[in-house]
A and B are shown apart, each in its own frame.
Chain A
Amino acid sequence: MTTLSPTAPAARAEFGVSEGVRNAYETELQKMMAQLTTRVLVLVCAIGPLAFAAVLKVQSGTPSDALFGVWVHTSGFAISLVILGFAGSWGFPIVAGVLAGDLFSSEDRHGTWKTILTRSCTREDVFAGKLLAAGTLAVGLMLILAAMSLVAGLVLVGPHALVNLSGVLTSPGRMLALTIVSWLICILPLLAYTSLAILFSVATRNGILGVLGPLLVALVTQLLDLIGKGVIVHELLIGSAFDGWHGLFTSHPFFGQVLVGSLVSLVWIAACLTVSWRIMRRRDFLTGVSGRGPSWTAPIKVVAVSTAVIAVLAFGCSIGPTGVTAYRVAYTIGREFNNVTLLQQQLIGRQVPANARLDIEPNCNRRATKAVGPGDWNCTVYVYLPQAKSVPYQLTSVEYDVSVQYNGCYKAQSPPAFLGGPTMLAAGGHNVTNPLFIVYGCFNIL
């Protein structure tokens, strides 16, 4: 080892704060991309949709519990939308947790805070660089997932028209636009989950809690969706923001949930990052490997606080107006039944006049003590069929078991005895999906 002559000091003045952030950002990106977990995530997002579509291609079953699930053999757009639905529930929280949940705590684990904070960048630079890197990768992974899900669907199934959430066959062009917009709508809630993961990472300095935190929040959100009938607390949860795109796929689109979800996401982002920065700013970086050393104090505190928060949220879920009412369910089911019945007639080769309407009367009841709220409903659709007799109509009825979610989306299924099985013979002699067998729909809960 010989000597190294010192030269002029590194000139910070040559680059301002924004340059410092840029340096920190590039550094963080480089570090994240060098880690196995990030590479695995990229691989999963790139190959996962292809594998999913390929598996569906070789089997007859469908993920019918997911919106559009019954249509995965009919239109490639359904593949992308089913993946989007799953990603909103579980995929994005996992991506956010893995990318950002260990972003700050890993510096504690490796003892590297002292290494990076003693270079020519401020804490603000490092903090902002990490945020931007996590956000960039999260959005990048989402875009990869979106693109690959579309590619997988369109290549393996085809760019065919898809029945929308009002039971109307929608053109491929419009479906493509709506699908792309739907993915883009999820950017803000994804960033909200990413911010939450950052908060977990900064506050607990524990990588496990940081990674699992968003996933646990997603799980709690799913559980809270099952209880209570009020919309206020539900709409304030990050998970609800992923439901905003549903309204775009109805014949009379509604945008309230998109706007509320976006605003809620922004509030979460601002709150999580503000608290994270305050913690980071005030922090003393003490021992070599970890500021606090191995301790269960932080996890116990987190569990205690989380339990209290969940209890409050569970109580709060009943507060406010009810989104799921008998009128809304019946009105939407009735309108959609009209549309899918006409679609079925077209599929079997019958002429359907423009603006044709059935004379129907839906009646929906919730199968529980409370008459409103998400859960299992039973809908009877009374159809008045015209006939040339003394009685001008023939009354028939169709029973639907309807599973209504908190967000106003439902899956209605009728026993095969009423409307036939999941597939039917079309006019061309080939089997097609029976649009009346399983019906997906959404109504505005706001």
Chain B
Amino acid sequence: MLCQLVRCCVYCRGVHAVRATGLVKRFGTTTAVDGLDISIGSGEVRGLLGPNGAGKTTLLRMLFGLIRPDSGTVELLGHKLDHLGGDALDAVGGFVEEPSFYPYLSGRSNLRLLAKLDGQRAAAEEIDDALGRVGLGDRAEDRLSGYSTGMRQRLGLAAALLRRPRLLLLDEPTSGLDPAGTRAVATLVRDLAAEGVAVLLSSHQIGELEKVCDSYTVMRRGRVVWDGSAAELDAQAPQSAYALFTSDDVRALEVAARVSALRIQPAARGGLAVAARIDDMDELVAALGDSHILIRRLELTVSPLESMFFALTTDHGAEALDALEPQQLADTILAGA
């Protein structure tokens, strides 16, 4: 009880849900995480991005206490984490890599077992509730060995929710899920965040991250190469790429030429390819309207996050991306993705 009171006070004070400083982890001669600092506030949904081998999974494993950092400290919800587990993980849920369970037990038995490990004695109703909410209510008695990847992913989410977490650490939570499941996860994350739960979401699905994240941490070669809010990212990102279909593409090109920081060209597959920052795009849309040119379709082919991610995690810098022609920009980034 005292512990819960202290924890409430901790949230009232706005203590970081995650505060990791100076994390270093080496495997032999490879430095997987190199002096990493990260902090996440309560109710914040942080997207964790990086190419393969950037150190995202190693970071998540250190946050879960599964591996020991060679140096640095981790505080979760105000508790210092030692790698043997304990208090710091009490209100932390989630999974790293694919969720794993005991194949010889049913989904319900797996959750019952985990609830027991958490010290929850009367968790039967909560288990049913969690299973129902992730859409596994009718398959709860099936053995895990008969579950698909998506079903295991759903069970992983149910297991995380069962802990009534204040901090969720999720690694590719939509992997293997169908579109409806993916949308449901996004909704779930936003709802939890609205109630003060901090979420660290690692994913390669940039489009999904953009739907739910308030802020981003981009990693490359074990280091944080960019860290900030979604608004800061929009402001700092290189040009995005758009596919524009108008009622008169020839006149649209003439109008666009008057918007200085924007580049536009006819696209190979019809329509126009545009490379622009969001403000410039607003200006173009207004100018087209003033010129009575109808916009029939406008698609974001490369988002600010995608272009930022590409610039930060490849040897192309932001300036190099800005120098590319619109079609080339889209092709380069999409090919890289």
How far in angstroms is the closest Cβ of chain A from B118? 4
Contact A112–B119 (Cβ < 8 Å): no
B278 at the interface (CB under 8 A from A): no
Contact A121–B85 (Cβ < 8 Å): yes
Partner of A115, one of B61, B92, B159, B166: B159
How far in angstroms is the closest Cβ of chain B from A57? 38
**Chain B residues in 8 Å Cβ range of A125:** 85
Partner of B164, one of A10, A23, A116, A119: A10
1/0 per residue B91-102: CB within 8 Å of A?
110111111111
B163 at the interface (CB under 8 A from A): yes
How far in angstroms is the closest Cβ of chain B from A35? 6
Contact B163–A286 (Cβ < 8 Å): no
The distance in angstroms between the C-alpha atoms of A101 and B159, with both chains bound, is 28
Contact B67–A284 (Cβ < 8 Å): yes
B1 at the interface (CB under 8 A from A): yes
Partner of B130, one of A4, A20, A119, A281: A4
Partner of A123, one of B84, B133, B181: B84
Partner of B65, one of A11, A36, A118: A118
Contact A288–B105 (Cβ < 8 Å): no
Contact B99–A1 (Cβ < 8 Å): no
How far in angstroms is the closest Cβ of chain B from A128? 12
Stretch in B109-117, B242-250, B252-260 with 4+ CB within 8 Å of A: B109-117
1/0 per residue B111-154: CB within 8 Å of A?
00110111110000000011001110000000000000000001
**Chain A residues in 8 Å Cβ range of B1:** 11, 13-14
The distance in angstroms between the C-alpha atoms of A4 and B135, with both chains bound, is 12
Contact A1–B4 (Cβ < 8 Å): no
Number of A-B contacts (CB under 8 A): 170
Contact B133–A10 (Cβ < 8 Å): no
A2 at the interface (CB under 8 A from B): yes
Known: A3-B187, A4-B161. A111 touches B91 (CB 8 A): no
Stretch in A26-34, A75-83, A396-404, A428-436 with 4+ CB within 8 Å of B: A26-34
The distance in angstroms between the C-alpha atoms of A169 and B133, with both chains bound, is 71
1/0 per residue A52-80: CB within 8 Å of B?
00000000000000000000000000000
How far in angstroms is the closest Cβ of chain B from A114? 6
**Chain B residues in 8 Å Cβ range of A5:** 191, 195
The distance in angstroms between the C-alpha atoms of A114 and B95, with both chains bound, is 8
B87 at the interface (CB under 8 A from A): yes
**Chain B residues in 8 Å Cβ range of A26:** 116
How far in angstroms is the closest Cβ of chain A from B208? 15
Known: A1-B181, A110-B102, A288-B100. A9 touches B117 (CB 8 A): no
Q: Counting chain A CB atoms within 10 Å of each CB, which of B86, B99, B103, B187 scores highest?
A: B86
B2 at the interface (CB under 8 A from A): yes
Taking residues whose C-beta sits less than 8 angstroms from the other chain, chain A's interface range is 35 or more
Contact A1–B133 (Cβ < 8 Å): yes
The distance in angstroms between the C-alpha atoms of A124 and B165, with both chains bound, is 23
Within 8 A of B (CB), among A1-50: 1-15, 19-20, 23-24, 26-27, 30-31, 34-36
The distance in angstroms between the C-alpha atoms of A5 and B161, with both chains bound, is 9
| Residue of B whose beta carbon sits closest to that of A9 | B91
A384 at the interface (CB under 8 A from B): no
Contact A9–B119 (Cβ < 8 Å): no
**Chain A residues in 8 Å Cβ range of B133:** 1-4
Contact A119–B134 (Cβ < 8 Å): no
**Chain B residues in 8 Å Cβ range of A112:** 100-102
Contact A1–B165 (Cβ < 8 Å): no
A122 at the interface (CB under 8 A from B): yes
Contact A6–B114 (Cβ < 8 Å): no
Partner of A13, one of B3, B64, B105, B161: B3
A268 at the interface (CB under 8 A from B): no
| Residue of B whose beta carbon sits closest to that of A15 | B119
The distance in angstroms between the C-alpha atoms of A116 and B105, with both chains bound, is 15
Known: A13-B4, A112-B101. A120 touches B90 (CB 8 A): yes
The distance in angstroms between the C-alpha atoms of A10 and B117, with both chains bound, is 11
Partner of A116, one of B3, B7, B84, B114: B114
Q: Which residues of B contact A (CB under 8 A)?
A: 1-4, 7, 61, 64-68, 77, 84-87, 89-92, 94-105, 109, 113-114, 116-120, 129-130, 133-135, 154, 159, 161, 163-166, 180-181, 184-185, 187-188, 191-192, 195-197
Closest CB pairs A-B (n = 9): A13-B3, A9-B91, A1-B184, A111-B100, A284-B67, A3-B191, A285-B66, A288-B97, A119-B117
Q: Which residues of A contact B (CB under 8 A)?
A: 1-15, 19-20, 23-24, 26-27, 30-31, 34-36, 110-125, 281-282, 284-289
Beyond A8-B4, A13-B3, A114-B95, list 17 extra A-B contacts (CB 8 Å). Answer: A3-B188, A14-B1, A15-B119, A23-B118, A30-B113, A34-B104, A111-B98, A112-B102, A114-B96, A114-B97, A114-B100, A115-B95, A119-B118, A120-B117, A284-B67, A286-B61, A286-B66
